Copies of this chain bind each other. A is one copy, B any other.
Amino acid sequence: MARKTAVIRSDIAFSTADSITVRGKDLPNEILGHMNLGDFAYFQLMGKTATLSQSRVFNAMLITLVEHGITPSALVARLTYAGAPESLQGAVAAGLCGLGTVFVGTTEGAAKMLYQALADTDVDADLEKIARDTVAAFRERKQIIPGLGHPLHKPIDPRTPRLFQIAEDNGMKGRYITLMQLIGAEAERASGKVLPINATGAIGAICCEFGFPWEIVRGFGVMARAIGLVGHILEESKTPMAHEIWHRMEDEASTHLRK
């Protein structure tokens, strides 16, 4: 059992009796009162302060992911809260568990696709050709292209042009956003379908402009939705829907068994 011991180490934060330091800054005196929550999220994650432009784009991106009405995650949080109102944290946690490959997690797929498409390319790369090749490859594998299409927001997801505009206004529109736009156009052409770049596609592209590792991109949706779910739980505590949903569904689901 001569296992080699590794070191336990974290560079994010540490505390002493009279101080808390996050990424080298004194939390009470250098951060509290000097940053907003979005900027602190950037700082805690990246270990450096967001520029004003980065702050605008990053905050807009996170806000986009906070709230989208009565989503499955909101329903899950509300149904969980109805059973365990004393454990608000469990209701939020339950609501987050479904942010996987089908819903919010598609930001990750979009970012991964864009990073891979531009890996080993330089600034002269023919983005139109790359878009055609990317779409062709997904179509050949019969895979859905991440970040395209929306059941409701057609022909345009209204969040996407606004997010891209904010990125452009702040000097953060680069090759990844352009490629995402070209992929969207090419996918519509090749499929003959209406395939708007949805919010998760836009955010995936913006994450690439920031240089966030694709493995962490899903995390922005998770942290943002945690905020939104608390709002839903507060509303549920005042004007509940969970019990009504439960009874309706239970009744309908078993109607055929009662005959």
Q: With the chains together, A76 CA to B17 CA distance in Å?
A: 24
A108 to chain B, nearest CB (A): 8
List A1-25 residues whose CB lies under 8 Å from chain B. Answer: 1, 3, 5-22
Assess whether A156 is interfacial by the CB under 8 Å rule. Answer: yes
- Interface size of A by Cβ–Cβ distance < 8 Å? 130
In the complex, what residues of B have CB within 8 A of residue A228's CB? Answer: 44
Q: With the chains together, A59 CA to B41 CA distance in Å?
A: 11
Assess whether A48 is interfacial by the CB under 8 Å rule. Answer: no
Q: With the chains together, A33 CA to B21 CA distance in Å?
A: 30
Contact flags A157-171 to B (C-beta < 8 A → 1, else 0): 011011100100100
In the complex, what residues of B have CB within 8 A of residue A243's CB? Answer: 6
Q: With the chains together, A60 CA to B21 CA distance in Å?
A: 15
Assess whether A99 is interfacial by the CB under 8 Å rule. Answer: yes
Q: With the chains together, A103 CA to B81 CA distance in Å?
A: 11
> Which partner residue on chain B sits nearest A247 by CB separation?
B3
The reply to whether B219 and A230 form a contact with Cβ atoms under 8 Å apart is yes
Beyond A72-B79, A72-B242, A92-B219, 18 extra complex contacts between A and B, CB < 8 Å: A8-B252, A9-B241, A11-B257, A18-B158, A27-B158, A28-B159, A32-B64, A37-B41, A37-B62, A72-B246, A80-B94, A84-B99, A85-B101, A85-B215, A87-B87, A88-B216, A91-B97, A96-B226
**Which residues of A pack against B, CB within 8 Å?**
1, 3, 5-22, 27-29, 31-33, 35-41, 44-45, 55-56, 59-60, 62-64, 66-76, 79-105, 152-154, 156, 158-159, 161-163, 166, 169, 213, 215-216, 218-220, 222-224, 226-235, 237, 239, 241-258
Can you show 27 pairs from A to B with CB atoms below 8 A apart? A10-B241, A12-B231, A16-B258, A32-B162, A36-B36, A36-B55, A37-B66, A44-B228, A45-B230, A69-B250, A72-B79, A83-B98, A83-B100, A84-B89, A84-B99, A84-B103, A84-B105, A85-B101, A85-B102, A89-B90, A89-B98, A89-B105, A92-B96, A215-B237, A216-B234, A219-B234, A223-B223
